[in-house]
Amino acid sequence: MNHSVELLRGEHVTKYFGGLAAVDGVDIVVRSGEIVGLIGPNGSGKTTLFNCLSRLLPIDNGRIVFKGHDITNARPYQVARMGLSRTFQVIRVYRKMTVLENMLISRQWRGETLWGMLKPSHPATERRARELLDFLKLSHLIDEYAGNLSGGQRRLLEIGMALMPDPDLVLLDEATSGVNPTLIEEIKDHIRELNREQGKAFLLIEHNINFIADLCERVYVLNYGKLLAHGTPQEIMENEAVIEAYFGA
């Protein structure tokens, strides 16, 4: 994969919550085909940064560029249509819909006419959903309500939903929290496979350091909303400031 193409760039991203800077002048870059980690202690602003990058939250300062387009003021749905998908720390699946319906609703909405949308889902969309569910080993749950799934299954479903529109970059917010160890290994394999086979880029928020170390080429560390360190997993784990931030002096 050509790593030189820049997918997502956040320049000096700043977000205040009532006078407190939750994210403070963070510069972050994800290139195509990369798997990048984002770590930091609780409350360090990781999810807020995600929310800023995916345009869920308006930023107070800075600039966000995705695939060469300035998306600082774009609406979230526009960013999603450009090929940036994400999952959520607090899982957002449609509990009252079946697994299949959840997948169908997450399809690529790019360039859809209203008239076209007055039809039921296209067979091709459904085929893609079934393939992805196969890939994620969720096929046996296809007609189950998302509300009846276990936490880990919901994480997987949400990843599947993020993959439905065939994005270039997926932001995964704690994809392993509340997931049992076997499933974590599976998720890891899925991410690696998607990255190698389809060249999808990932930006991961994680608490699971091994997960990061196994997957990521580069890692950003946030602390108190500021960028504390940046480098390979190896460098990060040996970085004094990072160790201090995590374990205290």
Number of residues binding to another protein, judged by CB under 8 A: 39
Element (H, E) at 190: helix 181-198
From residue 229, give the alpha-carbon distance in Å to each of 11, 36, 237, 245. 16, 13, 10, 11
Of residues 183-212, those binding another protein (CB under 8 A): none
Site string for another protein, 40-59 (x = CB under 8 A): -----------x--x-xxx-
CA distance 20 to 36: 27
Structure tokens at 159: 């990843």
Count of H helices and E strands in the chain?
A: 10, 10
Burial class (CB in 10 A: 0-12, 13-18, 19+), 156: buried
Measured between alpha carbons, how far is 187 from 212 in angstroms, rounded to an integer? 12
Q: Does the protein bind another protein through residue 108 (CB under 8 A)?
A: yes
Site for another protein in 157-176 (CB under 8 A): 161, 165
Nearest to 30 by CA among 195, 249, 236, 237: 195
The tokens for 186 are 């599976």
Region binding another protein by CB under 8 A among candidate stretches 64-72, 87-95, 189-197, 198-206: 87-95
Give CA–CA dist 148/72, Å, rounded: 37
Judged by CB under 8 A, which of 94, 135, 224, 246 binds another protein?
94
Kindly indicate which of the ranges 14-22, 63-71, 130-138, 217-225 contains the residues binding another protein, using the contact rule CB under 8 A.
14-22
Phi, psi dihedral angles at 221 (to 5 degrees) = -120, 125
Nearer to another protein, 121 or 177 (CB): 121
CB of 60 to another protein, least distance (A): 8
Binding mask 209-248 for another protein (x = CB under 8 A): ----------------------------------------
Judged by CB under 8 A, the stretch of 5-13, 80-88, 135-143, 189-197 that binds another protein is 80-88
**Which has the closest alpha carbon to 157: 96, 207, 93?**
93
Contacts with another protein, 125-164, as mask; x by CB under 8 A: --------------------x---------------x---
Decide: is 88 part of the binding site for another protein (CB under 8 A): yes
User: Can you tell me which of 106, 176, 195, 208 binds another protein, judged by CB under 8 A?
Assistant: 106
Strand order in the sheet with 69-70: 20-31, 6-17, 61-66, 69-70
The verdict on 75 binding another protein (CB under 8 A) reads yes
State the residues that interact with another protein by CB under 8 A: 16-18, 51, 54, 56-58, 75-77, 80-81, 85-86, 88, 90, 92, 94-97, 101, 104-106, 108-110, 114, 116-121, 145, 161, 165
